[in-house]
Structure 1
Amino acid sequence: MLEKGKINTGEFEIIVIIFTLGSTILVGPSLLASYAKQDAWIASFLSLMIGLCFIFLYNQLTSFYPEMTFIEMTKNILGSWIGGVVSFLFIIYFFIISAGLLREIGDFLTTQILVETPIQTILISFILISMAGVKLGIEVISRAAIIFFPWMIMMLALLFLFLIPEVEISNIQPIYGEGFKAIARATYSSLGLPYLELFIFLMITPYVSNKQRLKKSFYKGTIIGGVVLSILIIFSIIVLGADFTARHAYPSYILGKKISLGTVIERLEVIVAIIWFFSMYFKLTICYYGITLGLAQIFKLKSYKILVFPLAFLLVTFSIILYPDIVYFQDFLAHTWTPYSLTICFFIPCIIVFAANVKKVKTNKESGR
């Protein structure tokens, strides 16, 4: 195996939680509120329920070949040629995600915090940090996640606690006021961010030591991450209002600015920024790691590490080419990302599961003879 490291189910669960939060912490509330308004929280919980169905599908894939990554099992089930094509589609999909994540980091910092800093400087600085994690491997990435995870939870808890005085329950009324169609549209738009993206963990599952508890950890991590996102969306609506949440690119960041406890505690948007930096770092690093490992397996290289630097250069370049500005990026998320994600992370896995079952039946019949 190209990766020698091993992680336990607890570490796997934590990186699933952090990955689920990822970029959705910042852009998720706006995306959902733009369709469902004050009912965005309903759409968020519905998308979580559907997201668990995707996890069921991914767990089915891991049960066929628990010691193989998605690239390896695809070539084993579909054959070398067809499996290779599908594997490349997988790599391209997560390359686009990684470039988008990097661009999102650059856009946020250049519009909200470091407004005078060239975006190229930010992109290069962040990818260098991510490169270090990818080179060290999944074991080190997961250990780092364990260190930062309690701090993320503590800061989220403080954020929600300090926002309680700013709550206006009337902002969430009338419940179901936008009707089922608007909620369904919002639910659909949020499937690609983040639940279908969890497909990347099929590159990590072979390195989880306890395969018996793997499926449960995958479910638990997704549920915890999804519930936290839903709570954040609820706070965005009841504090900022549905219209403001829908209009602003980063409503959860604005939540921190609304905190005011006397004259002592004010404008704690840095809490949101820190949480987001942590979650974005690990999401980008996991996607980046999956791409390098997958390409190494496709080309049968002895080590995936020789691909780390060339891919970093390509990610920085394509983050600017693929996403020329923040308006284009948000439009891409709203209209293109979910159907594209469904194709790569749902329909293709369904075909592979079907082919694996056919192959299994055929093998059993032949062995019975």
Structure 2
Amino acid sequence: MYVTSRQLTLWIILYQLGSSMLIIPAGLAAVAKQDAWLAVIIAIAISFLFIPLYVAISNQMKMKSVFLYFQALFGNVGGRTLLSLFIFMFPFLIFILTLRNLGDFVTTSIIPQTPAQVIYAIMLFTVVYALYLGIQPLVRSVEIFFPLAMFLMLILIVSVIPNYKVDQILPVLEHGWKPPIRASLLLAAFPFMESVLLLFFVPFVESGKILKKILIKSTMISGIFFFIITGSVLVVLSPELTENLVFPSYFVIRTISFASFYERFEVLVAVIWFISMFCRLSLLMYISAKGLSESLSIKNYRSLLIPLSGIAFIMADVVWPNLTYLNEFITIWPSYAMVFGYVLPILLWVIGRIKTKQT
């Protein structure tokens, strides 16, 4: 198997946009109000600070898989146990949360009379089928989807400009720097702290320099889109309305209307979101199945796709009871994600350094 740095970069960009594109503006506005756009800039800066850490770990891995790296650091039993715990507590949990988020969006905004379980089943079938075909056909499909998603995104951004009311983000820093800094942790956690998952693709990249370029490009491009999307939502809907909507990015597109002809563009948001969600779910499922197959000494990760999908299908309905609870969940998530996105990588790097000096 071989994945080019370009394919991986495009995959990561769509992965990062994923569900964040629709729900992040509401979370940022709830904390930072009209300064939510500043929170995006701070989050990007925080993410760039940790890129050297991920690159340093990839250099320690020396083109080995995450399983072999864990095994070298913690021994055979310890490496298998810790990797399995990491898979279930981070990428696979994110997979379940993303699947639920997809069901909530479709059943509340597009087809409310359709059971969420139908949406789960359709998306799971698509993801499993794509991964059964292999990672190479998958990344090639990402190359096809990416220009389409960017073109549709450009249409939406340009179309909403006439509705801008810039005074809605004034005054800047009315409550100081604390609110945007606190809000930035949400975007840093969701999705930028998930950049640690890119370590699972180290065997596909030629060196740490290539990984660094992938991280920088994907963070910068997705960060620019987050900045534009968040800013557009704020200046069109106002911070007060934004924080009270579950999917403000979807709602803002409904304001586009010119001469009762150029309107009803919500479907474009849905198309973009389905593309990015497919890329997000497929990457998370691949990492979960691949990591567990190595940890459990299973020859082919494909044999785990259906069992993991079955678990996700059941768990998606119980991760949170309703959309109101989701708002509380979002406030907790940065602390949880920080353990796996920042704390764990630092520990791995330190232990790796100690092991290197001992040999």
| Structure 1 residue 112: Cα displacement | 0.6
Gaps of 5+ in 1: 364-369
Per the normalisation by structure 1, the TM-score is: 0.94
One-letter code of the match for 2:245? H
Give the count of matched residue pairs: 358
Q: Tell me the residue number matched to 1:273.
A: 270
Which of 283, 296, 306 is 1:286 aligned to?
283
C-alpha deviation, 1:74, in angstroms? 1.4
Residue 124 of structure 1 aligns with an amino acid whose one-letter code is A
The answer as to whether partners of 1:40 and 1:183 remain within 8 angstroms in 2 is yes
Give a deviation string over 1:141-178, Cα, whole Å, max 9, x none: 21111001001111111111111110001111111113
Task: Give the 3-state SS of the residue equivalent to 2:177 in structure 1.
Answer: helix
Query: How far has the Cα of 1:211 moved from its partner?
Result: 5.8
Match of 1:108 in 2: 105
- Among 337, 340, 353, the residue aligned to 1:341: 337
Are the counterparts in 2 of residues 8 and 210 from structure 1 also a CA contact under 8 Å? Answer: no
1:174 and 2:206 correspond: no
Contact 2:25 2:36 in 1 (8 A): yes
Once the two structures are TM-superposed, the CA of residue 52 in structure 1 deviates from its matched residue by: 1.6
- CA-to-aligned-CA distance 1:150-207 (integer Å, 9 cap, x gap): 0111111111111111000111111111321111210122221001112222112212
> What is the CA–CA distance in structure 2 between the aligned matches of 1:211 and 1:358, rounded to whole Å?
20
Indicate conservation of the 8 Å contact 2:55/2:208, yes or no.
no
Aligned to 1:323, the other structure's residue is in SS state coil
8 Å CA contact 1:196–1:346 kept in 2: the answer is yes
| Cα deviations by residue, 1:247-270 (Å, 9 ceiling, x for unpaired) | 100000012101112222012111
Q: Percent identity between the aligned chains?
A: 29
CA distance in structure 1 between the partners assigned to 2:303 and 2:23 by the alignment: 34
Answer whether contact 1:20 1:226 (CA < 8 A) is retained.
Answer: no
- 2:63 partner letter: E
TM-score, normalised with respect to structure 2: 0.96
2:237 alignment partner in structure 1? 240
Deviation at 1:341, TM superposition (A): 0.8
Q: Per-residue displacement from partner, 1:290-320 (whole Å, max 9, x unpaired)?
A: 0000000101111111111111100110111
- Cα offsets for 1:61-93 (capped at 9, x unmatched): 111124223232112122223323321231111
Partner SS state of residue 317, structure 2: helix
Hey, what's the Cα distance between the residues in 2 that align with 1:178 and 1:11? 42
2:71 maps to 1:71: no
Which amino acid is 1:328 matched to? Y
Q: After superposing the two structures, state which structure 1 stretch, 13-22 or 33-42, moved more.
A: 13-22
Q: Which amino acid aligns with 1:94?
A: P
Which stretch shows the higher mean deviation, 274-283 or 258-267?
258-267
| Alignment map for 1:150-189 (pairs within 5 Å) | 150-189=147-186
Aligned counterparts of 1:267 and 1:171: Cα–Cα separation in 2: 24
Q: What is the 5 A alignment of 1:122-137?
A: 122-137=119-134
- Matching residue's letter, 1:185: R
Tell me if 1:255 matches 2:252: yes
